[in-house]
């Protein structure tokens, strides 16, 4: 459950639709789906296995499990840094959602155009609102981290995750009755390969890691508290399945509304905030209620993921330096809160000019470096660790009972397919093709 809570987050409903919109639809979606199936699932199993066998924070798990060169392998666990970096903008986006919970309960924009103006005004000129809600997100996340995962967040999740799925399903069914739906289907599933430039390719692969929470130790940290004998393969399968299904449903629904109300898919990070409020408005008073519930559920999906982004580093400072949970939570929280302020400034008129390099602002750079580079690299380390470093007998003893005949192809993919695929991504990043 916790792993699903980590995977299903803003990546599915906020990020996936907007990057699909930006990078041109079908071809991008296809690369993402292929990566999830061929690479994501295998890496998920590898990462779960390391946590399950190591039973500690990421750094310590790598260190204890590595038969030799422990000092080197422990750096695999420092991938947790990627989570903290992601959190700098994740918290800002949760802040936007909190703001929308409040505004949606008062009034909704009457058209996509109006919704777009409202969002861009917040993004470009409203420092205070963004700062205020980012700070609230920081307070909630830090509080939950300090309390520990088990006591609060899992219980809340148990109610809100199904709520999110129900609201999404209702909205989705409604979307299928609209004319815009067929356009949304074509946009998402008819690949136009001419749109797949190298950045789109790398972003799609990176997103597969991001949305599944792979490559930075979140899944590993949670797997460390799995009971012995838990079926790792079954857990991994459900996480991957649920995560992918929610992303596809959310994407189709959001694009339907945009097409329906006469707008296009390329809305950038504001997509969910522009597409949905306008659709909710069409539903009348019921729309307000739906909107508020939707954004509340989305905020919770975001918060459960947020906690998992920071927890690996919190755990690390507790395990290795003997810090109290409170001290570790506040220090890590303070870090993403402070850097998050720079993320906000990088979108504002007046300051964004100083925080933009090569067409990407600070926000875009952090997103790109973490999702497209750090997470896939972390996934590669985990695949290599399980495929080459851990004794095969040990890996087999744990995984064979769950995987059966599929053990051989999985092991093969860790040893050969994933390293080759990641090598291609690296070449691509370096501009070789
Ligand atoms: N998977 C989360 C999402 O889709 C983000 C995340 C990435 C969480 C990496 C933890 C680790 O929103």
Residue-level pLDDT at 288: 86
Residue-level pLDDT at 33: 96
Q: Is 381 a residue whose pLDDT tops 80? A: yes
Sign of CA dihedral 368, 369, 373, 375: negative
pLDDT digits (tens, 9 = 90+) for 63-111: 999 988 888 898 888 888 999 999 999 999 999 999 999 998 888 898 8
Confidence of residue 423 (pLDDT cuts 50, 70, 90): confident
DSSP helix/strand/coil, 61: helix
Q: Is 195 a residue whose pLDDT tops 90? A: no
Can you tell me which atom of ligand 1 is nearest the CA of 12?
A: 4
Residue-level pLDDT at 153: 61
Can you tell me which atom of ligand 1 is nearest the CA of 10?
A: 12
Centroid of ligand 1 to alpha carbon of 179 (angstroms): 33
Q: Is 283 a residue whose pLDDT tops 90? A: no
- Bridge partners for 357 per DSSP: 360
Residue-level pLDDT at 241: 96
Q: Could you give the angle at which helices 285-321 and 58-65 cross, rounded to 10 degrees?
A: 50
State which of 8, 11, 36 you would mutate to test the pocket of ligand 1, scoring each by most atoms of that ligand within 8 A of its C-beta: 11
Mean pLDDT of 290-301: 88
How far the first Cα of the chain sits from its last, in Å, is: 40
Residue-level pLDDT at 149: 63
Q: What is the mean pLDDT of the chain?
A: 92
Both tokens of 167, joined, read 């609201």
Question: How far apart are the C-alpha atoms of 397 and 63, rounded to whole Å?
Answer: 20
The pocket around ligand 1, CB under 6 angstroms, is made up of: 6-7, 9-12, 83, 86, 210-211, 213, 216, 218, 305, 308-309
Confidence of residue 427 (pLDDT cuts 50, 70, 90): confident
Q: Is 5 a residue whose pLDDT tops 90? A: no
Q: Is 1 a residue whose pLDDT tops 90? A: no
Closest CA to 246 of 305, 307, 198, 312: 305
Confidence of residue 293 (pLDDT cuts 50, 70, 90): confident
Identify the top-confidence range among 6-10, 299-303, 305-309, 341-345: 341-345
Q: Is 160 a residue whose pLDDT tops 80? A: no
Mean pLDDT of 193-220: 92
Residue-level pLDDT at 406: 95
Centroid of ligand 1 to alpha carbon of 178 (angstroms): 31
Question: How far apart are the C-alpha atoms of 220 and 86, rounded to whole Å?
Answer: 17
Q: Helix, strand, coil: what percent of the chain each, to 5? A: 80, 0, 15
Residue nearest to atom 6 of ligand 1 (CA): 213
Max Cα–Cα distance, the chain, nearest Å: 65
Question: How far apart are the C-alpha atoms of 221 and 55, rounded to whole Å?
Answer: 8
Sign of CA dihedral 207, 374, 236, 39: positive
Closest CA to 272 of 137, 87, 104: 104
User: Is the CB of residue 261 less than 8 Å from the CB of residue 111?
Assistant: yes
Residue nearest to atom 9 of ligand 1 (CA): 213
Both tokens of 80, joined, read 């947790």
State which of 90, 222, 308 you would mutate to test the pocket of ligand 1, scoring each by most atoms of that ligand within 8 A of its C-beta: 308
Residue nearest to atom 7 of ligand 1 (CA): 213
State which of 4, 7, 374 you would mutate to test the pocket of ligand 1, scoring each by most atoms of that ligand within 8 A of its C-beta: 7
3-state secondary structure 62-124: HHHHCCCCHHHHHHHHHHHHHHHHHHHHHHHHHHHHHHHHHHHHHCCCCCHHHHHHHHHHHHH
Quick one: DSSP state of residue 352?
G
Centroid of ligand 1 to alpha carbon of 147 (angstroms): 21
State which of 92, 207, 218 you would mutate to test the pocket of ligand 1, scoring each by most atoms of that ligand within 8 A of its C-beta: 218
User: Is the CB of residue 155 less than 8 Å from the CB of residue 5?
Assistant: no
Residue-level pLDDT at 150: 65
pLDDT digits (tens, 9 = 90+) for 325-374: 999 999 999 999 999 999 999 999 999 999 999 989 999 999 999 998 99
Confidence of residue 244 (pLDDT cuts 50, 70, 90): very high
Name the pTM for this structure: 0.94
pLDDT digits (tens, 9 = 90+) for 216-228: 999 998 898 888 8
More confident residue, 303 or 338: 338
Question: How far apart are the C-alpha atoms of 123 and 290, rounded to whole Å?
Answer: 24
Both tokens of 366, joined, read 């952090």
State which of 86, 213, 248, 300 you would mutate to test the pocket of ligand 1, scoring each by most atoms of that ligand within 8 A of its C-beta: 213
Can you tell me which atom of ligand 1 is nearest the CA of 243?
A: 4
Rg (CA), the chain: 21
Can you tell me which atom of ligand 1 is nearest the CA of 14?
A: 12
Residue-level pLDDT at 19: 95
Q: Could you give the angle at which helices 198-211 and 26-35 cross, rounded to 10 degrees?
A: 50
CATH 1.10.4160.10 fits 2-429, yes or no: yes
Centroid of ligand 1 to alpha carbon of 262 (angstroms): 32
Which helix (DSSP H) or strand (DSSP E) does residue 239 occupy? helix 232-260
Q: Is 7 a residue whose pLDDT tops 90? A: yes
Centroid of ligand 1 to alpha carbon of 92 (angstroms): 14
Can you tell me which atom of ligand 1 is nearest the CA of 305?
A: 8
């Amino acid at each position: 459950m916790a792993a699903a809570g980590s995977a299903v987050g803003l990546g599915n409903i906020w990020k996936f639709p907007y990057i699909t919109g930006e990078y041109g639809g079908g071809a991008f979606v296809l690369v993402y789906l292929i990566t999830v199936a061929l690479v994501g699932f295998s890496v998920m199993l590898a990462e779960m296995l390391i946590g399950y066998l190591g039973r500690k924070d990421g750094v310590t798990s790598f260190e204890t499990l590595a038969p030799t060169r422990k000092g080197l392998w422990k750096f695999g666990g420092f991938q947790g840094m990627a989570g903290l970096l992601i959190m700098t903008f994740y918290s800002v986006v949760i802040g936007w959602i909190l703001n929308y919970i409040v505004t949606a309960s008062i009034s909704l924009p009457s058209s996509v155009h109006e919704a777009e103006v409202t969002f861009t005004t917040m993004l470009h000129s409203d420092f205070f609102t963004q700062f205020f809600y980012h700070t609230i997100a920081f307070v909630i996340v830090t509080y939950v981290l300090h309390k520990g995962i088990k006591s609060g967040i899992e219980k809340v999740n148990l109610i809100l995750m199904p709520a999110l799925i129900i609201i999404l399903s209702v909205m989705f069914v409604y979307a299928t009755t609209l004319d815009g739906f067929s356009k949304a289907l074509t946009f998402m599933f008819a690949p136009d390969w001419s749109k797949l430039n190298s950045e789109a390719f790398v972003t799609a692969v990176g997103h597969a890691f991001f949305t599944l929470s792979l490559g930075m130790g979140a899944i590993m940290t949670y797997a460390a508290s799995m009971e012995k004998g838990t079926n790792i393969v079954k857990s991994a399968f459900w996480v991957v399945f649920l995560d992918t299904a929610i992303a596809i449903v959310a994407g189709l629904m959001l694009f339907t509304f945009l097409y329906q109300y006469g707008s296009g898919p390329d809305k950038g990070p504001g997509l969910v905030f522009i597409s949905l409020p306008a659709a909710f408005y069409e539903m009348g008073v019921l729309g307000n209620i739906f909107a508020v519930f939707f954004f509340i559920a989305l905020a919770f999906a975001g918060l459960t993921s947020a906690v998992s982004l920071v927890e690996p580093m919190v755990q690390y400072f507790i395990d290795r330096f003997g810090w109290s949970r409170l001290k570790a939570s506040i220090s890590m929280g303070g870090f993403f809160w402070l850097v998050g302020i720079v993320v906000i400034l990088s979108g504002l008129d007046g300051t964004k000019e100083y925080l933009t390099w090569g067409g990407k602002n600070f926000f875009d750079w952090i997103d790109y470096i973490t999702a497209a580079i750090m997470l896939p690299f972390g996934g590669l380390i985990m695949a290599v660790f399980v495929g080459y470093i851990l004794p095969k007998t040990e890996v087999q003893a744990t995984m064979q009972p769950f995987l059966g005949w599929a053990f051989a192809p999985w092991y093969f993919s860790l040893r050969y397919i994933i390293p080759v695929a990641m090598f291609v991504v690296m070449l691509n990043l370096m501009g070789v093709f």
